[in-house]
Structure 1
Amino acid sequence: MSHKIYSIMVTTGDRFCAGTCSSVYVKLVGTDGESTRVKINSDQGLSRDSVTKGSPELVELEAESFLGITDDEWFCSSVVVKTPEGDEFLFPCHCWLSSSEKEVVREATAKLIFQETKTKSLAHREMQLRRCQQEFRWEVYAPGLPEMVESDNALALPPEVRFSFTKEAEFNLTLGSAFIPLKLNGLADNRDSWTNFHDLDQIFVDKKTKAYEYVQQHWLEDEFFGYQLLNGLNPMMIERCQTLPTNFPVTDDLVRSYLPSGSCLKTEMENGNVFLCDYKNLRSLVGKGNVINGQQQYLAAPLCLLYRNPEEKLLPVAIQLQQEPGEGNPIFLPSDSCDWTLAKIFVRNADFNEHELNYHLLRTHLIAEVFAMATVRHLPSAHPVFKLLSLHFRYTLQINIMARDQLMSLEGAITCICPQYTGIGYSGSLTLLKNAMDLLTYTSLCLPENIEARGLKEISTFYYRDDGLRLWDIIQTYVEGVLGFYYPSDDYVQRDSEVQLWIEDIFKKGFVEKQSSGIPQSFASVKELIKFITMVIFTVSGQHAAINNGQFDFGGWMPNFPSSLRQPAPTCKGETTESDILKTLPDVGTTVNTLAAVYVLSKKSTDHYQLGHYPEQLFVEKEPLERMEDFKRRLQVLSYDIKARNVGLPLPYTYLDPENIENSVAI
């Protein structure tokens, strides 16, 4: 009597050096038994009788070295098993195997912990979490800040979560192309002031974008100053002003000429036409600036009042550079000529610090790392939330380790936006991050609520809001469709001990157990879970793209985004000249090192997964696969609409076009 044979297809992943010379063996594990170990491509088959009654649960993969080559690693993408009856089962792997290891992978059907009925699958689930909790351990970065992965360097991470060869090679090549010419021509170490703006225009000539050139041409204009607070690098500071802060004594007499005839500040605030940017997080740092190349740097904590005129243009009308009002802290106005230009530069420097440390580093990179760590530590590969989120954390751990080692360390290997070249310095950076943690709330991370809280629902030409809210809705619909399939009722969420441990870890490690953050400590309903995961995906994809991708566009022209200032904020009016502005701006070396950094951080890698692109198949059920296709279609429509709108804009807003959004925080 002949045996009925299982056929097995093992796929090597599309990675550099993914193949192997080793002999690869496979074994099937079922409910009541397991097969013999069989070498791939051998004539021996896997008989039905030797496997199990019913469908296979697990696949065991093992490689044996060829001629004693022990470091010949193999990257297995997946295993597909076809039963004698013609049924196919997918076993996702997506990991590297060395000759000294065995890898056990389970069939792709997603299950919640209380749905596990097979002993071997449950044991595999528990084993996988134990291994991940050993490989990915928490470590304190600084007291009061989100915790991070414990790792001496990126190479200590498991190879599955590290950069691909392509990404690493491109990253190093981009670094070299940005920094080596600056070193060779002596600019990187030049401590002189810029003598004129024309000389500043001669660097990075071959790397300029159209947006860079637009910023260079319009940075002095008040209209553009207001525009980029909505659609520039940092659309997160501006909010509607309904009552003037008591420490910002702007009177009607000061701004009367900028308001409609017969109107006043109170009326315009009631009509929703007055807005405020308040950089109070920097207050405790004033007078504690960094020292760069032996020269003291200076910080301000400005308040900037803006008015939306009848032509719907958002214009700055008053700037106070320090938080305490007084004789030595004048309120600068658009009529103040060079004083006004210098005041706006101090605001842009304050925005640099808030952007890079609060909204970029903390609210995308560090929080994304917390989400990633909690996911790998508490959600096994069979969990539907793991499958939904896994590719949204691709490369996040490595890029964050590199950021801490090379950008946020006292001696960054990349001499750029590390403390060596910022006016705020290392100690000041940690202080600002801790100040920002007090304002890091669940509401502020949820775009619809954030826009509502800041009173920005009605203001026109706010493309970050328009594109972001549509993107949020698309993500939420996708998440709702997928999770609704696995969680048909709130009871399923409440019984899911793994997802409850997941959110508890996020609350403790990411938000340092601050009740004021509003971050849930547990989930009681499907609705709560959908909202939180929508926020996670939006944060690591769209929000990071909006905050990161335009760094060279808006920061490449240094006066628009200075990393440091070498003169203190003016304490009186009428004394500033263009020469004073050049003496205040960063020196040549600080400028070019910072510009090289923002260029590197804005450069898209060819090895990126565009939002909605999931080449590693993790789901097999029909419902989530259909939801995924719908997600892609809706993203394509959004992309088309954004491109159509941008045709009529002098400065297109492209950062939330899904084609320009990566699935994860990977740069």
Structure 2
Amino acid sequence: MSPLFNKPKIKGTVVLMPKNVLDFNAITSVASGGVTDNAKNIFDTVTDLAGGAIDSVTSFLGRNISLQLISATQTDASGNGKLGSETYLDSHLPPLPTLGARQDAFSINFEWDAASGIPGAFYIKNFRTDEFFLVSVTLEDIPNYGTLNFVCNSWIYNFNNSGKKKRIFFVNDTYLPSATPAPLLKYRKEELEALRGDGTGKRQEYDRIYDYDLYNDLGDPDGGDPRPILGGSVIYPYPRRVRSGRERTKTDPNSEKPGPIYVPRDENFGHLKSSDFLMYGIKSLSQDVLPLLKSAIFELKVTSSEFSNFDDVRSLYEGGIKLPTDILSKISPLPALKEIFRTDGENFLQFPLPHVIQVKRSEWMTDDEFAREVIAGVNPNIIRLLQEFPPKSSLDPSLYGDQTSTITKEQLEINMGGVTVDEALGAKRLFILDYQDAFIPYLTRINSLPTSKAYATRTILFLKDDGTLKPLAIELSKPHPSGDNLGPVSKVVLPAIDGVDSTIWLLAKAHVIVNDSGYHQLMSHWLNTHAVMEPFAIATNRNLSVLHPVYKLLYPHYRDTININGLARQSLINAGGIIEQSFLPGKYSMEMSSAVYKNWVFTDQALPADLVKRGLAVEDPSAPHGLRLVIEDYPYAVDGLEIWDAIKSWVEEYVSFYYPTDVAVQQDTELQAWWKEAVEKGHADLKDKPWWPKMQTVEDLIKSCSIIIWTASALHAAVNFGQYPYGGYILNRPTLSRRFIPEPGTPEYDEMVTNYQKAYLKTITPKYETLIDLSVIEILSRHASDEIYLGQRDNPNWTTDSKALEAFKRFGSKLAEIEAKISAKNSDPSLRNRIGPVELPYTLLHRSSEEGLTFKGIPNSISI
């Protein structure tokens, strides 16, 4: 028989998912007009059409999808990898046990002989109208080789409607640029150029382009609600976000119009992940549900706008809020909100019981718990050692006067058990939670907002002999009524256990926590994790090929970050968004975070450096992790250092496989371009700071990658997943303060004497804003069912390098050991800061978790 009919074939299996009604964008379009009666049909529609979607897989056959192999070992006349013939899917395979939900497998057979070499990549074209999600491609019976795996995980759009650009995918091998097989060099460069784009035009849904832009889309200048553009100026520096290229506003040609947020298509996985439903829940809450709730409270007056007492607050978890059926009929149980909303005509917005009151109902009010949450709560990395007395300020005195603390030694020593301030300073037993400099420059403007009346706070804490902290004094400062430059008007409040003084002390603690809540949400959480990570994600996709070892190391730690940040700009941090509505800084929220970013230091994000900088640790080679903690029972630091060391050891081992010398780092063209762009474009406003690693040594690379992974995983987990467990009880973590502490001789003071609960509730977050806050932080504190945790990968074939796979397995084993250590520490009664009066074990840095609201779990990335 003629050799023409005997040409060898490579057998292939293509795994994909058709677009169907579960697509995130499809659901968004259903609800985009507001919550209507039709919204309740989403799940019915899914059920009705799921079978049809499965049956439709046969439509993928024929000449709808083509693949074309590219050789990694044989070249064409131009010196590029030899192309095979264009080949189409053959047949739909029976369900495979290894396939995930809704995945379908198809066979394909390529004509390919030994002379064609070993495939290293392939092109794919989609001639179908709808896009589909390409999961993986496996090639078998490759002459002189065996089997090859391609992990794809990418949306493939219609070839003609997306610029007639063929999509390319590479085998899961790992190559430095200089070690890339010569036949693949052109294709490696081609793919990076496609991801960079040309920096022009409005981005389309099908685009996969990563580029930089300013935060110029938070306000609505044409609607009379502008916000400062963040980034690109000395006044308002900021990390960059993904460029979308939307139309500019008429009022301000430098600002983009509000509207749908662009994210590169593969950052929005659509119907594939349940985390998309969580993110959609925030959007639906902001755009649809809260306006109806606001109407019900303030216009229809179906429920009081104020809590009447503490039991009234607790009713949120025991009975919810009752609304008329005509209101309920407009609010449907969307996927991400099904555990919050009930539409059975009985209750609405019945929240789960926050962890902080699950065991002890009232211990949140104690000084011990107040102090414990400073080092084991949701914002545990602000406290610092007090090294001088009285505390001073770094604010410009010509603008803000003398901001030196008015707290005296005598006031502190009342509750120090015979220890003097000087002795405590020398023994490193005094600490400070200081929000003076962060809030004073904005306080005049904040207090001019309709419902805001706040102080800037300083809190001094004392380390007791039993290892726990004790608050000694709270300083409450507000700007001078005749001008900020005259300095603050301050008063000092001391602990008290009975009478009106105990109520004043309780209110002073509330003002501290309001400062802390705002700073936590805007700086500790949003700025220091979400915002600062996006430039690294952009730079990685633009400059590091999927074949690059550092890409393979870092890519899992960017999962969903660009997507959730885009949603935040649309619903959370935008003008009039959820953060501005429910947290103290209001319309000045993002501007305040810009001021804090001025002093952000990349290298200080490493946990050891952070602890040393805050005076909470001293370098000691003989101590575990090379540090001696000043507060030995500091749960965030103790657990965090274990995680930090595990991350750094994994990175060090992995990086050493590919970079044996500093010269190898210096000569890696992609790596150098990546770092240069991350610094000079992604963090352009800080690019001239001397603290940036120069990326000239292996140690520079290890340090930088470790900080990125730590920030995206453990740091974010520590400041995010405790939000509802602690803050879901608004009495414990209020987000707004609406009045100053009443003065003697006023009706408010008299009420404070007789009814401390009413005085407290009239000071802190009211009902509507509480409902906003709780609804959002419950979603933010949840884990999706398909979350991927630190030390895990979504595909075991992420690399073909056996050494890397073995090292990664050791990393996972080490994290499992740390989990066991954390459990043991939480069972040790001598470690009182780990449990506290509320009897809530510190588990925020416990690596693994189940789905839901668990108060533990370290995802690989900032995925919510």
Deviation at 1:408, TM superposition (A): 1.0
Deviation at 1:371, TM superposition (A): 1.4
Deviation at 1:643, TM superposition (A): 2.2
In the other structure, the counterpart of 1:255 is 412
Distance 1:505 1:299, change over 3 A: farther
1:283 aligned residue (426, 440, 447): 440
SS at match of 2:788: coil
Q: Aligned partners of 1:435, 1:184: CA distance in 2, in Å?
A: 32
Query: Would the aligned equivalents of 1:112 and 1:496 in 2 still touch at CA under 8 Å?
Result: yes
Q: Aligned partners of 1:473, 1:114: CA distance in 2, in Å?
A: 31
Distance 1:79 1:609, change over 3 A: same
Deviation at 1:185, TM superposition (A): 10
**TM-score, normalisation: structure 2:** 0.71
Deviation at 1:160, TM superposition (A): 1.7
In the other structure, the counterpart of 2:840 is 651
In the other structure, the counterpart of 1:183 is 293
In the other structure, the counterpart of 1:113 is 177
Distance 1:132 1:583, change over 3 A: same
Query: Would the aligned equivalents of 1:154 and 1:401 in 2 still touch at CA under 8 Å?
Result: no
Q: Aligned partners of 1:514, 1:98: CA distance in 2, in Å?
A: 38
In the other structure, the counterpart of 2:790 is 611
More deviation, 388-397/647-656: 647-656
Deviation at 1:442, TM superposition (A): 2.2
In the other structure, the counterpart of 1:59 is 122
SS at match of 1:62: strand
Q: Aligned partners of 2:447, 2:317: CA distance in 1, in Å?
A: 26
Distance 1:173 1:252, change over 3 A: closer
Deviation at 1:226, TM superposition (A): 0.7
2:613 aligned residue (427, 430, 453): 453
In the other structure, the counterpart of 2:583 is 422
Q: CA RMSD in A?
A: 2.9
1:156 aligned residue (246, 255, 262): 262
Q: Aligned partners of 1:408, 1:215: CA distance in 2, in Å?
A: 34
2:239 aligned residue (143, 146, 158): 146
- Would you say 1:665 and 2:862 are equivalent positions? yes
Q: How many residues align?
A: 653
In the other structure, the counterpart of 1:433 is 593
Deviation at 1:299, TM superposition (A): 2.6
Higher relative contact order (CA 8 A, sep 6+): 1
Query: Would the aligned equivalents of 2:456 and 2:478 in 1 still touch at CA under 8 Å?
Result: yes
- Would you say 1:367 and 2:532 are equivalent positions? yes
Q: Aligned partners of 2:679, 2:730: CA distance in 1, in Å?
A: 38
Distance 1:118 1:200, change over 3 A: same
Deviations 1:475-521 (A, max 9, x none): 11111111111111111100112212222222224433426755526
Deviation at 1:546, TM superposition (A): 0.4
In the other structure, the counterpart of 1:242 is 387
In the other structure, the counterpart of 1:523 is 695
Q: Aligned partners of 1:449, 1:527: CA distance in 2, in Å?
A: 15
Deviation at 1:173, TM superposition (A): 5.5
Query: Would the aligned equivalents of 2:573 and 2:590 in 1 still touch at CA under 8 Å?
Result: no
Alignment of 1:391-402 (within 5 A): 391-402=556-567
SS at match of 2:684: coil
In the other structure, the counterpart of 2:475 is 320
- Would you say 1:46 and 2:110 are equivalent positions? yes
SS at match of 1:331: strand
**TM-score, normalisation: structure 1:** 0.91
Query: Would the aligned equivalents of 1:475 and 1:534 in 2 still touch at CA under 8 Å?
Result: yes
SS at match of 2:66: strand
Alignment of 1:575-614 (within 5 A): 575=749, 577=753, 578=756, 579-614=758-793
Deviation at 1:282, TM superposition (A): 1.0
More deviation, 126-135/283-292: 283-292
Deviation at 1:324, TM superposition (A): 7.8
Deviation at 1:171, TM superposition (A): 4.4
What amino acid sits opposite 1:150 in the alignment? R
What amino acid sits opposite 1:7 in the alignment? K
Deviation at 1:117, TM superposition (A): 4.4
Q: Aligned partners of 2:119, 2:599: CA distance in 1, in Å?
A: 50
Query: Would the aligned equivalents of 2:136 and 2:149 in 1 still touch at CA under 8 Å?
Result: no
Deviation at 1:223, TM superposition (A): 0.7
- Would you say 1:29 and 2:70 are equivalent positions? yes
Q: Aligned partners of 2:719, 2:307: CA distance in 1, in Å?
A: 28
Query: Would the aligned equivalents of 2:175 and 2:549 in 1 still touch at CA under 8 Å?
Result: yes
Deviation at 1:384, TM superposition (A): 0.8
Q: Aligned partners of 2:790, 2:108: CA distance in 1, in Å?
A: 43
In the other structure, the counterpart of 2:553 is 388
More deviation, 14-23/332-341: 14-23
In the other structure, the counterpart of 2:328 is none
Distance 1:368 1:47, change over 3 A: same
In the other structure, the counterpart of 1:197 is 310
What amino acid sits opposite 1:434 in the alignment? S
- Would you say 1:269 and 2:425 are equivalent positions? yes
In the other structure, the counterpart of 2:624 is none
Alignment of 1:347-358 (within 5 A): 347-358=512-523
What amino acid sits opposite 1:158 in the alignment? P
Deviation at 1:138, TM superposition (A): 1.0
Distance 1:402 1:483, change over 3 A: same
Q: Aligned partners of 1:160, 1:273: CA distance in 2, in Å?
A: 50
- Would you say 1:73 and 2:132 are equivalent positions? yes
What amino acid sits opposite 1:423 in the alignment? L
Q: Aligned partners of 1:203, 1:284: CA distance in 2, in Å?
A: 36
What amino acid sits opposite 2:85 in the alignment? T
What amino acid sits opposite 1:60 in the alignment? Y
Q: Aligned partners of 2:605, 2:520: CA distance in 1, in Å?
A: 15
Q: Give the % identical residues.
A: 25
Deviations 1:162-202 (A, max 9, x none): 04323333544588799959939945876733321111111
- Would you say 1:226 and 2:371 are equivalent positions? yes
Q: Aligned partners of 2:190, 2:141: CA distance in 1, in Å?
A: 26
